[in-house]
Structure 1
Amino acid sequence: MSTSNTVRHRKRAENYDSNQKNITKQNGDVDSEFTTRESPLTVLIDNSPHIRALYHIFVVILLMLLFDTMIYDLVERGKINIGLNVIISGFGDIKRGALLWLFEFAVVLAFYPALRIYAAARKLFRKNTGVRDSLSKLGVIGLIAVEMVLIGVPIVDLGRRHLALASSAVVTCEMFRFLMKIHAVAIACAPYGENESPALPTFKHYIYFLFAPTLVYRDHYPRTKTIRWAFVLFHFLEVAAIILYNSFLWERFILPYWSDYGRQSKVEAGLVVRGMFACVLPGFISFLCGFYCVLHAWLNAFAEMLKFGDRLFYEEWWTTSRFSHYYRAWNRVVHSWLRDHIYKPLAPRAGRAISTFIVFFVSAVAHEIILALSFGFFYPVLLMEFGVFGLLMLPLTASSGRRFPNAFNLIMWLSFFFGNGLLWSLYSMEYFARKNCPPSQSDSFFIPKSWSCPEVVLKPDWTFQNPLSVLY
C-alpha cells in the first residue's frame, strides 16, 4: 500500500472514530444529524488486515461453491452450471415486476404536485385558523389515501397472482421504501405556511431524496465533491456476486434436502432434523451476505453516485451484547425512520414500553408482508422470532449484557445461527410442501401446508437409549 493511501485510510479511520463518539447520546439513542463519514466495514477492511482476511475467506467460499457446482454438474450431467438457473427462476416474470415498480414510482411522483397544491392552499389561508385546520385534516386524509394506494395495489396484485420470489421481494421492499419516503416528506413539510415554516423541496431535491440512501428527510445533506466510479462498480460487482453466492447456497444446501419434501406421504423425523441443522450454516452465511449486500454494498454504491456524504448505514452490531443496541445498530436507515415517525411521537403519550412494542409490531408486520407476498403463503416464523422472542430479549439483556458482555455476545451469535437456520429450513419445508403435496380443500394462504403434509414419523424400531449407559 502506498504512503498516500495509508495516510488517506488513517484519516478515514480517525474521522470514523471521532464520529462514532458523537452519534450516541447518553440515553443510548442515535443522533439524527448527518455528517460526512464512512461505513464501519469500509474503514475496517481498508485499515485492518485481519478483517480483510475474513473478507477474503468469504470470497474463497464463493469460489469453492462455484467450483463445486460447475464440476459436479459437469461430471453428473455433462454440462457446466454456474448457478444462473436459480437466479433466472427467482427473478422470473421480471416484466410484471417492473410494471408494478413503475406504478409505485408513478404514485410517488404524483405525490409531489399534490404536496405543492396543499402547501399553496395553506399559505393562501395562513391567517384563517379554521380553514388552515381543515386543510391539515384534508392533508392527513390525502396522505393516508396515497399510502393506501401505494401499498394496496401491489398487495392485491401479488396476492391474486404470485410473482417469482426475488421479483416479489424487490417490489414489496420498494413499496415500503417509497411509503416511508413520502411519509417523511409529508411530516417535514406539514407546518408549511406557519411562522418559521420549512421550505418545500424543489422537484430536483425531491427526486434526490427518493433515491438517496436515507429515509429521514432533510433540506440539505452533506455531499462529497467527486464520484469514484471504480468504487461504485466494485460495490455493484459485490451485489452481483452475493446474488450468485445465495444461488449456490440454495442449490447445494436447500434443494438436496427439501426439493422432494412432500412427495412422500411420510418422512422420518431424523431426516427432518438433519436437514434443519444442515441449513444452519448456509442460513447464517446468507444472513451475513444479505446484510453486506443491502446495507453496505448497495447503499454505498448509491451514496457514491449521489455524492451522499453520510455512509453510516449501520454500526458495529457484531460486537454488541445487548439486543436493544443490536436493533438500533443493525439498520440505522430504517431505525432512524421508526424512531422519528413512530417512537418519538408516541413516547410522550403512550410511554416508552408501549411505544417500543408498537415499533416492533409495525416492523415485524412489514417484514412478514414482504415474506408472505414473496413466498406466496403466510408462515409467521420471522414474526415470532423478531416480534416475540426478539422483543423479550430486550429487557433480558439490558443490564446483564453490560455486566457479562462476552457471554451475551456469544448468546447473540448463537441466536443468529439458530434463528437463521430455522428460517431457511421452515420456509423451505413449507415452500416445497405446497409444490409437492397433493391439493386439498383445506389448502389456505394462511394455514401451513407442511404441518399436515407430509407426516413426520419416528422410525418403527425407535427407542430411547441412555447415552451414559456405556459408563456402567
Structure 2
Amino acid sequence: MFYIVLFLVLPCREIVKHQLAIASSFIVLLEQLRQLMKTHSFVRENIENIRSQCHLISESKTNDNTNLVEITCPDFSHYLYFLFAPTLIYRDKYPRNAVIHWDYVLQMFGQVIAAIFYVYYVVVRFCIPTFANLNQNQITLSIFTSVLFNSIMPGSLFLLLGFYGFLHCWLNAFAEMLRFADRMFYKDWWNSTSFAAYYRTWNIVVHDWLYAYIYKEVFALIGETNRVIPAIAVVLLSATFHEYVMIFSLGFFYPVMFVLFAIVGMCFFFFLPRNKGVLYNILVWAFLLIGVGLQSCFYFMEAYARKSCPANDTFWDKLVPRSIVCRVSLPSAKLLHLDL
C-alpha cells in the first residue's frame, strides 16, 4: 500500500507547489495513474509466485533439506518492457510481431500532434468566445440552455479527439515500436446500445485492469454470489479517479464528471434496458453528447469564474463552485484567457 500512497501524493504535491498549467498537470496525472496501475499489476501478478517460493524455502529449512530453493524474480528486462508496452496487465511474455514499420509509427505520432492542435483550435474558436463574455448575473434557463447546446459540439470533439489521439494513435505507435502484437485497445463502442456495453468497450486497456484487480477480487471477497456490488465498485473507483484527474489538472473542485459518471451513469448502467437496436444506440449517443456538453459547459464556466471572482482564504472557497456563489460580471475577453 505504501507505493500506492506515494504515487497518489507526490505528483499532486508537485503540481500544487509549482502551479503547473492544465495540459502539464493532465500529462503528469495520467502518467502517475499509468505507473500506479502498472506497478500494482506487476506486484499482484508476481506476489503469489514469490509467496509459494518462500513457502518452499521454509519447508526445506524445516526438513533440513540441503537443496534450498532460490527465489526467482522476473527479469528486469521484462519489467522494463512492460513499463512502455500499451497494456496494464503484466505478463512475462507477450505476443510480438516480427518487424517494426517506422512509417506507421511516424504516421501515428503525426496524427497525435494534429489531434492536439485541433483540440487547441476548438478551445480558442468555440469555447473561449462562448464563455469569456458570459455574464454571471444574467444566466437564465434559456441562456444556460443555449450555452449548453453550444458546448455539445466542442465537448463531442474533445471526446472523439481524445479517443482517436490516445487510444488509437498513441497506443498503436508504441505497440508498433515495441512489436506488441495485441492491438485490441478498444472495441466498437460507437455501436453500443447500452451504457454497460459502452463502459466495457470504450477503453479495453483500463477495462481489463479494472476487471482483473477490482471486479474479480471484490467478487471473490463477497463470496461470488453477487455481481452488482463488484460492478458498483468498478464504476465508483473509475469515476473517483476521473474526478481526481480533473480536480488537480483544473485546480478546483467541481465534481461534474463524478456526478455524471458515478451517479447518472450508474443509473443508466443498471436501469436502462439492454436491448439491441438502432433506437437504443441513438439514445446512448444522445445521453453521451449531452453529458460531454454538460462537462464542457460547467468546467469552462467555473474556470472563468475562478479568474474573475475574488478569492478568499477560507477552506470552503476550495470546495464551493464560484460560478454558483459569485455573482459578478466577467471582464472583457481580452483580459481573460485559459492557461493551456
Check if 1:335 corresponds to 2:192.
no
* Aligned residue in 2 for 1:148: 5
Alpha-carbon shift at residue 160 of structure 1 (Å) = 4.2
Aligned-partner residue type, residue 39 of structure 2: I
Alpha-carbon shift at residue 411 of structure 1 (Å) = 0.5
Give matches, 1:64-463, under 5 Å: 144-193=1-50, 194=52, 200-261=73-134, 266-269=137-140, 270-350=142-222, 351-397=226-272, 400-402=273-275, 404-440=276-312, 444-454=317-327
Distance change >3 Å, CA 265–CA 360, structure 1 → 2:
closer
Q: Deviations over 1:290-320 (max 9, x none)?
A: 1111100000000000000000001011111
Aligned-partner residue type, residue 131 of structure 2: W
Unpaired runs of at least 5, structure 2: 57-70, 330-340
CA–CA separation in structure 2 for the residues paired with 1:416 and 1:199: 48
CA–CA separation in structure 2 for the residues paired with 1:252 and 1:379: 24
* Aligned residue in 1 for 2:68: none
Moved more, 425-434 or 201-210: 201-210
Aligned-partner residue type, residue 170 of structure 1: I
CA–CA separation in structure 2 for the residues paired with 1:178 and 1:396: 35
Alpha-carbon shift at residue 361 of structure 1 (Å) = 1.1
CA–CA separation in structure 2 for the residues paired with 1:439 and 1:309: 52
Q: How many aligned positions are there? A: 308
Aligned-partner residue type, residue 8 of structure 2: I
Distance change >3 Å, CA 384–CA 374, structure 1 → 2:
same
CA–CA separation in structure 1 for the residues paired with 2:265 and 2:209: 19
Aligned 8 A contact 2:309 2:328 in 1: no
Aligned-partner residue type, residue 209 of structure 1: F
Aligned 8 A contact 1:433 1:453 in 2: yes
SS in 1 for 2:138: strand
Q: Deviations over 1:355-397 (max 9, x none)?
A: 1111111111111110000100011000011111111112223
Q: Which 4+ stretches in 1 moved above 4 angstroms?
A: 195-199
Aligned 8 A contact 1:320 1:405 in 2: no
SS in 2 for 1:451: helix
Larger radius of gyration: 1
CA–CA separation in structure 1 for the residues paired with 2:136 and 2:30: 36
Q: Percent identity?
A: 37
CA–CA separation in structure 2 for the residues paired with 1:191 and 1:357: 27
Aligned 8 A contact 1:283 1:417 in 2: yes
Alpha-carbon shift at residue 455 of structure 1 (Å) = 6.3
Unpaired runs of at least 5, structure 1: 1-143, 457-472
Moved more, 388-397 or 219-228: 388-397
Aligned 8 A contact 1:155 1:373 in 2: yes
Aligned 8 A contact 1:267 1:455 in 2: no
Distance change >3 Å, CA 336–CA 272, structure 1 → 2:
same
CA–CA separation in structure 2 for the residues paired with 1:204 and 1:280: 46
SS in 2 for 1:401: coil
Aligned 8 A contact 2:136 2:323 in 1: no
Moved more, 386-395 or 164-173: 386-395
Aligned 8 A contact 1:317 1:330 in 2: yes
Alpha-carbon shift at residue 267 of structure 1 (Å) = 2.4
- Of structures 1 and 2, the one scoring higher in RCO (CA 8 A, sep 6+) is 2
Aligned 8 A contact 2:254 2:299 in 1: yes
What TM-score do you get using the length of structure 1 for normalisation?
Answer: 0.62
Q: Deviations over 1:377-432 (max 9, x none)?
A: 011000011111111112223xx332x52211111000111011111110000001
